[in-house]
Amino acid sequence: MSKKVRVRFAPSPTGGLHLGGVRTVLYNYLFAKHHGGDFILRIEDTDQARYVEGAEQYIIDCLNWCGLQPDEGPHVGGPYAPYRQSERKLNYRQYANQLVEQGHAYYAFDTTQELDEMRVTYKTPENPQPQYNFLIRENMRNSLTLGKIETARLIREGTPYVIRIKMPHNEEIHFTDMIRGKVTFNSSLVDDKVLLKADGMPTYHLAVVVDDYLMKITHAFRGEEWLPSAPVHILLWQYLGWQADMPEWAHLPLILKPDGHGKLSKRDGDRLGFPVFAMDWLDPKTGELTTGFKEKGFLPEAFVNMLAMLGWNDGSEQELFSLKELVEKFSIDRVHKGGAKFDFEKAKWFNHEWIKNSFNATLASMLTDFWPDRKITNKPLLEKMIGLVKDRCFTLNDFWEQGSFFLQAPINYDLSPIRAKWNEEKTVFFNAFIEVIPMVEPFDAPTLEAAFKTVAAEKNIKAGELQLPFRIMLVGGKFGPPVFDIAATIGQAQTMERILYALAQL
């Protein structure tokens, strides 16, 4: 019997959840669910310096919005609790000590200052960034150079120390990545990474391995930026004697900035005017607010759909997928190796498609949530309005711009396009038309249009010349769905009222 699939998403609560992060979760989730497995959320909050209050809840909120609910996690519990690294502290030291006893790791007493000096001393044009490696560790203050007695003394005296992995000299380390195939590294080129920090917290390297083992993770997905540290993790799995349980790895391609090159960052969004976070993120330290896709008026389904297609497709021409369909069709071998540039125009297109395919009633309740300050009491009217304007809305925001005049009389009228050509005949026409409106039965678009044309013919004016004025009277500008649809939707009273108001202005 094959073991059950268990994948985890392990963010560090240091700020907002950006596109790359959400896509990593998504692929984790899709893979787990596709194979009938569990999706686990683990919080990696060992980085005290960058830990941000509230970021964990924010991550959970984002996952909820996207519909990617974890099966296990700090807020839902599970058999391997706790799911926060900070609450698992004791475990890590135990394993780090084990590695030291086995000779795969050692104590290092070098101060920050000493490390800085080392980096300056050994810096050459050929080696601009010297590493704490098999060569240099011979010249540093660690248990390898100091000897047993001195090491024991320093520890007894409470000298701060870290535990570093002892990378072997000139060994081939290779592993199979589910996306990239076989990847090979030479151990001499990897430095002696710190495993346990002076404060007793593990670094990411120790923590992922220990946590993945203890939580029985079977598949590990992470960004491509982690590929260079994979050999450290592979070795740790071996040294700890857990090789048989090592998860399968998948290093996901990066999401790149639309212009130029490089990883997409928060700054790019600010600079180019689009969100890079799933939801609004208010940084409590700086007070800076970064807008999210949710608040920009994106449907979660569209957001997820768009992200899924940035680096994966099912090989067919289909582009629109629900989360359920994505789960059914996802396959890891179809994930791309190369990074993809983010394109906000395409993202909006996805949202537009999802808006068009959503029911009016669904959109109506979304909009009432989206506009908490705009008291919308007339739900049937809202739904009718949505039906008429949704084809032209790319985000939830657009609905107000495109359809607010259905819900309330326009505040600003731009009469300039008709003012120049205005004349007495037109005033006469509209006065006559108002008389007719109460008699139009039923008050629907075709009947009203017929009445409009009849009056125009009686008054000897071309109906075409009257349509633009009529539109502006109703909506305040040159936009919106067909005029008679608008009139029929807002009703007789509103139609007359708005004509009278505009007539007074003219």
Partner RNA sequence: GCCGCGUUGGUCAAUCGGUUAAGACGCAUCCCUUUCACGGAUGAAUGACGAGUUCGACUCUCGUACGCGGUACCA
Residue (of 249, 233, 117, 211) closest to 165 by Cα position: 233
Q: Does 343 bind RNA (CB under 7 A)?
A: yes
CB-nearer residue toward RNA: 368 or 459: 459
When binding is defined by CB under 7 A, the residue of 55, 165, 254, 364 that contacts RNA is 254
- The overall longest dimension of the chain from CA atoms, in Å, is 112
The answer to whether 71 and 226 have CB atoms below 8 angstroms apart is: no
Select 291 or 351, whichever has its Cβ closest to RNA. Answer: 351
Q: Name residues contacting RNA, limited to 105-144 (CB under 7 A).
A: 110-112, 115, 119, 125-129, 131-132
Of positions 94, 170, 184, 286, contacts RNA by CB under 7 A: 184
Query: Is 54 near RNA (CB under 7 A)?
Result: no
Among 16, 269, 403, 481, contact with RNA (rule: CB under 7 A): 481
For residue 334, state whether it binds RNA (rule: CB under 7 A): yes
Q: By CB under 7 A, is residue 369 in contact with RNA?
A: no
List active site positions.
266
**H or E, element range at 324:** helix 323-329
Q: Is 212 in the site for RNA (CB under 7 A)?
A: no
- Among the candidate windows 57-65, 73-81, 251-259, 373-381, which touches RNA by CB under 7 A? 251-259
Separation of first and last alpha carbons in the chain = 82
Asked whether position 397 contacts RNA by CB under 7 A, the answer is: no
Q: CB nearer to RNA: give 240 or 250.
A: 250
Using CB under 7 A as the binding rule, whether residue 237 contacts RNA is answered as no
What is the token pair recorded at 268? 């790019």
* Near RNA by CB under 7 A: residue from 226, 370, 371, 443: 226
Q: Which span sits near RNA by CB under 7 A: 23-31, 57-65, 275-283, 305-313?
A: 305-313
Least separation in angstroms between CB 90 and RNA: 17
Cβ proximity to RNA: between 75 and 341 the closer is 341
The count of residues interacting with RNA (CB under 7 A) is 87
* Cis peptide upstream of residue 442 (ω within 30 degrees of 0): yes
Pair 143, 151: CB distance under 8 Å: yes
The whole-angstrom separation of Cα 412 and Cα 505 is 12
157 scored as a contact of RNA (CB under 7 A): no
Residues 95 and 105: their CA atoms lie apart, in Å, by: 10
Per CB under 7 A, 47 contacts RNA: yes
Instruction: Determine the 3-state secondary structure of 223 from DSSP.
Output: strand
**List 69, 86, 91, 313, residue binding RNA (CB under 7 A):** 313
Q: How far is the CB of 51 from RNA (least distance, A)?
A: 9
Q: Is 197 in the site for RNA (CB under 7 A)?
A: yes
Tell me how far apart the alpha carbons of residues 92 and 44 are, in angstroms, rounded to a whole number: 13
Q: State the SS3 of 230-248.
A: HHHHHHHHHHCCCHHHCCE
Name residue 28's amino acid.
N
Q: Is residue 338 at the binding interface for RNA, with CB under 7 A as the rule?
A: yes
Q: Which of 106, 204, 239, 298 binds RNA (CB under 7 A)?
A: 204
Nearer to RNA, 228 or 438 (CB): 228
Minimal distance in Å, beta carbon 140 to RNA? 11
Q: Across the chain, how many H-helices and E-strands are there?
A: 21, 13
The reply to whether 224 sits near RNA by the rule CB under 7 A is yes
> Could you give the C-alpha distances from 331 to 34, 178, 248, 304, in angstroms and in order?
8, 11, 14, 16
Pick the stretch among 27-35, 210-218, 460-468, 489-497 that binds RNA (CB under 7 A).
Answer: 460-468
Residues in the chain: 506
Q: Is 203 in the site for RNA (CB under 7 A)?
A: yes
SS (H, E, C) 406-456: HHCCCCCCCCHHHHCCCCHHHHHHHHHHHHHHHHCCCCCHHHHHHHHHHHH
Is 181 near RNA (CB under 7 A)? yes
Characterize 251-283 residue by residue with b for buried, 16 or more Cβ atoms within 10 angstroms of its Cβ, and e for exposed. bbbbbbbeeeeeebebebbeeeebbbbbbbbee
Residue from the set 154, 155, 327, 468 that interacts with RNA by CB under 7 A? 468
